[in-house]
């Protein structure tokens, strides 16, 4: 039986792995259900985290390869835990500070290791307006991920990971764009209420694919197509909703390359 203790043990092992990298790690940020204290044992994944590395790591091939090796071993350890798993993210400090990612509010994230660099993305509580931009960046990633994954649908793990990311990110980011801080799965119902014209008739089949124990390439292509169709429909209706509420102009003004 999976318990909360299993999640904490896996998190502690992950932290110890990262600590072996010493000053090469600027910070490790935990977000998602673990950071919010909303773990559903056996359902919640391990773990939503970002490892932020010193810029110099990316300037030296040998140092990068050694560092990357440690991160790979950390992933293998998490995967072997038996908990629902997907790889964590990693960035250079410069990449992180220029990202559009916005799930790092002080309320919904925590610093697991190193310095508190959350405000550098503009996604902290003090700069919460950038949360409203997350959907449009996530949409671009979804377009690329779906099309790239579709070329390699024999890798069912990659297809299911793309679909899982779609479910967790797109609806949550859409809720943020509307000024509502809620997370998957609650964000799905909130978006349904805000955008009643949204066509979600294929959402159940996407969820079923994510949970499938023996997915086929045909099922993968269908799920990816449905997820991308929902994303595009959501984009159009979200823009319409924001325009009708006189919020689109402000968001559009923020959607500019950062210096």
User: What is the pLDDT confidence band of residue 232, given thresholds at 50, 70 and 90?
Assistant: very high
Q: Quick check: 126 pLDDT over 70?
A: no
User: What pLDDT was estimated at residue 101?
Assistant: 53
Identify the bridge partners of residue 130 per DSSP, sorted by sequence position: none
Burial bucket for residue 41 (CB in 10 Å: 0-12, 13-18, 19+): middle
User: Could you report how far apart the first and last alpha carbons of the chain are, in Å?
Assistant: 49
At 164-211, the pLDDT tens digits run 888 888 998 898 888 887 777 888 999 999 999 999 999 999 999 988
User: What CATH topology corresponds to 4-123?
Assistant: Beta Polymerase; domain 2 (3.30.460)
Q: Long-range contacts: 58-63, Cβ < 8 Å, 24+?
A: 58/92, 63/24
Q: Quick check: 254 pLDDT over 70?
A: no
Q: Which two tokens stand for residue 121?
A: 């993305």
User: What pLDDT was estimated at residue 151?
Assistant: 63
Q: How far apart are alpha carbons 254 and 72 in whole angstroms?
A: 36
At 51-74, the pLDDT tens digits run 999 999 999 999 999 999 999 999
Q: Name which residue leads in pLDDT, 159 or 125.
A: 159
User: What pLDDT was estimated at residue 84?
Assistant: 84
Domain boundaries of the chain, sorted by first residue: 4-123, 131-254
CB 165 within 8 Å of CB 134: no
User: What pLDDT was estimated at residue 125?
Assistant: 43
User: What pLDDT was estimated at residue 177?
Assistant: 84
Give the mean pLDDT of the chain: 83
Q: Where are the alpha helices (DSSP H) in the chain?
A: 4-19, 33-36, 61-79, 93-97, 134-150, 156-177, 186-194, 203-211, 217-244, 248-254
CB 251 within 8 Å of CB 242: yes
Q: Record the pTM.
A: 0.62
User: What is the pLDDT confidence band of residue 5, given thresholds at 50, 70 and 90?
Assistant: very high
Mean pLDDT to the nearest integer, 27-56: 87
């Amino acid at each position: 039986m999976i318990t909360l203790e299993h999640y904490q043990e896996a998190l502690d092992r992950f932290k110890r792995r990262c600590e072996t990298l010493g000053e090469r790690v600027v910070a490790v940020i935990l977000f998602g259900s673990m950071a919010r204290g909303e773990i559903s044992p056996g359902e919640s994944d391990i773990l939503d985290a970002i490892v932020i590395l010193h810029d110099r790591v990316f300037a030296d091939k040998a140092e990068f390869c050694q560092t990357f090796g440690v991160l790979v071993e950390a992933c293998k350890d998490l995967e072997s835990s038996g908990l629902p798993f997907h790889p964590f993210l990693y960035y250079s400090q410069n990449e992180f500070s220029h990202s559009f990612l916005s799930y790092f509010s002080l309320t919904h994230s925590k610093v697991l290791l190193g310095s508190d660099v959350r405000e550098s993305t503009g996604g902290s509580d003090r700069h919460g307006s950038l949360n409203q931009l997350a959907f449009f960046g996530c949409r671009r990633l979804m377009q690329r991920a779906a099309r790239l994954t579709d070329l390699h649908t024999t890798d069912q793990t990659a297809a299911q990971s793309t679909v899982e990311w779609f479910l967790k990110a797109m609806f949550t980011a859409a809720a943020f764009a509307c000024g509502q801080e809620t997370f998957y799965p609650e964000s799905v119902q909130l978006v349904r209420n805000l955008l009643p014209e949204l066509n979600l008739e294929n959402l159940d089949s996407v969820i079923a694919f994510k949970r499938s124990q023996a997915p086929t390439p045909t099922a993968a292509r269908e799920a990816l197509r449905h997820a991308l169709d929902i994303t595009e429909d959501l984009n159009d209706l979200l823009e319409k909703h924001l325009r009708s509420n006189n919020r689109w102009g402000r968001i559009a003004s923020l959607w500019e390359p950062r210096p």
